[in-house]
């Protein structure tokens, strides 16, 4: 039986303590016809040497060394080098279940889909969180896939739990100027280009959460600005798509709310976004697509951000966790 070749792209930067177990996880896949492209993004630790050792042990591994350019740059190099029928992505410090790629390949074949994706779990130092795990399969049209991608209800916007037909990437690469939400930005274009996708609600991918140093205010602003840029771009792109636009618009409004209530010393930046939200409060789209509950929260975020912070603090104390907002509740 002729098995399709799967190109697995793994960006790696200064993860000497994790890259070995990640590669072991990929090599343990029950689907064996893999092309494993590991892009060393200018690591200054022993990551590069570890990769070279693995390359000698298994002929399916190909290591590409490059100057540091960021995760999107590394992924783009991998996309250009890929020769497989399908493309998948793995973060260099994550793990996956042995049957993940076999499952995704079978889904693509059985449903004649362009994108297959599975559930995932978030592995924290002290706990494991996963969502749904209903073991259901759902086949979606282009429009249904885009709606789920933007709502966050079912489709995780990341690249790592998905398998794509390689031709989807013809003319599509990741935006290397983005530091966050680059996955959502490129997935929007990929799902928009696809005809059909299929989702299997079982967590076959483990996203490892590591303790990092506190994020500085300037870095936080940069990430929020990237998110704003992506959501504004998507909102404008789907303006004429009546089923999709309300979801994109709600997500855009919610991000503005988050920026308005966050703690930062970048007051001018925050004021500029608050002014944008104030303008949105008066628009037809806001009145038409935003629920009364979210309209109230938006108003408080603009004019009484301190009250919103107290509300969320009380919620966190009651639940012991941060609320995961679902934009389709709009």
Q: Indicate if the pLDDT at residue 322 is higher than 50.
A: no
pLDDT at 210: 78
Question: Mean pLDDT, the chain, as a whole number?
Answer: 92
Q: Indicate if the pLDDT at residue 325 is higher than 70.
A: no
**Segment 244-286, tens digit of pLDDT:** 999 999 999 999 998 988 878 888 999 999 999 999 999 999 9
Quote the CA–CA distance of 320 and 318 in Å, as a whole number: 6
pLDDT at 310: 85
pLDDT at 126: 82
pLDDT above 90 coverage of the chain, percent = 78
pLDDT at 217: 58
Q: pTM here?
A: 0.91
Q: Indicate if the pLDDT at residue 327 is higher than 70.
A: no
User: Where exactly does CATH 3.90.550.10 map onto the chain?
Assistant: 6-208
**Segment 102-134, tens digit of pLDDT:** 999 999 999 999 999 999 999 988 888 876 678
Q: Indicate if the pLDDT at residue 188 is higher than 70.
A: yes
Least confident of 19-23, 159-163, 245-249, 304-308: 304-308
pLDDT grade for 52, boundaries at 50, 70 and 90: very high
Q: Are 26 and 36 in contact (CB under 8 A)?
A: yes
Q: Which CATH class is domain 6-208?
A: alpha beta
**Segment 212-241, tens digit of pLDDT:** 644 455 677 888 999 999 999 999 999 999
Q: Are 82 and 4 in contact (CB under 8 A)?
A: no
* Burial per residue of 212-246, b for 16 or more beta-carbon CB atoms within 10 angstroms, e otherwise: eeeeeeeebbeebbbbbebbeebbeebeeeeebbb
If one compares 208 and 213, the residue with the highest pLDDT of the two is 208
């Amino acid at each position: 039986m002729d098995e399709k070749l799967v190109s697995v792209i793994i960006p790696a930067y200064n993860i000497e303590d994790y890259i070995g177990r990640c590669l072991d996880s990929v090599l343990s896949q029950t689907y064996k016809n893999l092309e494993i492209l590991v892009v060393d993004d200018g690591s200054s630790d022993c990551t590069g040497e570890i990769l070279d050792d693995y390359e000698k042990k298994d002929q399916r591994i190909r290591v590409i060394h490059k100057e540091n350019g960021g995760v999107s740059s590394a992924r783009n190099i991998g996309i250009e080098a890929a020769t497989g029928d399908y493309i998948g992505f793995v973060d260099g410090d994550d793990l996956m279940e042995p049957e993940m790629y076999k499952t995704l390949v079978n889904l693509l074949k059985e449903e004649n889909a362009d994108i297959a994706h599975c559930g995932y779990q978030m592995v924290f130092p002290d706990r494991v969180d996963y969502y749904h795990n209903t073991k259901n399969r759902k086949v979606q049209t282009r429009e249904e896939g885009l709606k789920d991608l933007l709502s966050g209800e079912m489709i995780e916007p990341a690249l790592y739990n998905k398998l794509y037909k390689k031709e989807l990437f013809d003319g599509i690469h990741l935006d290397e100027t983005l530091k966050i939400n680059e996955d959502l930005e490129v997935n929007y274009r990929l799902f928009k280009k696809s005809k059909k996708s299929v989702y299997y609600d079982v967590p076959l991918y483990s996203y490892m959460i590591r303790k990092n140093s506190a994020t500085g205010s300037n870095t936080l602003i940069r990430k929020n600005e990237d998110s704003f840029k992506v959501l504004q771009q998507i909102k404008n792109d789907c303006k004429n798509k009546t089923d999709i636009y309300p979801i994109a618009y709600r997500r855009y409004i919610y991000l503005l709310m988050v920026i308005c209530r966050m703690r930062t010393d970048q007051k001018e930046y925050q004021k500029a976004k608050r002014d944008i939200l104030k303008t949105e409060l008066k628009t037809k789209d806001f009145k038409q697509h935003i629920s009364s509950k979210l309209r109230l929260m938006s108003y408080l975020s603009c004019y009484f951000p301190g009250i919103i912070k107290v509300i969320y603090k009380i919620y966190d104390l009651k639940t012991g966790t941060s609320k995961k907002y679902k934009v389709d509740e709009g």
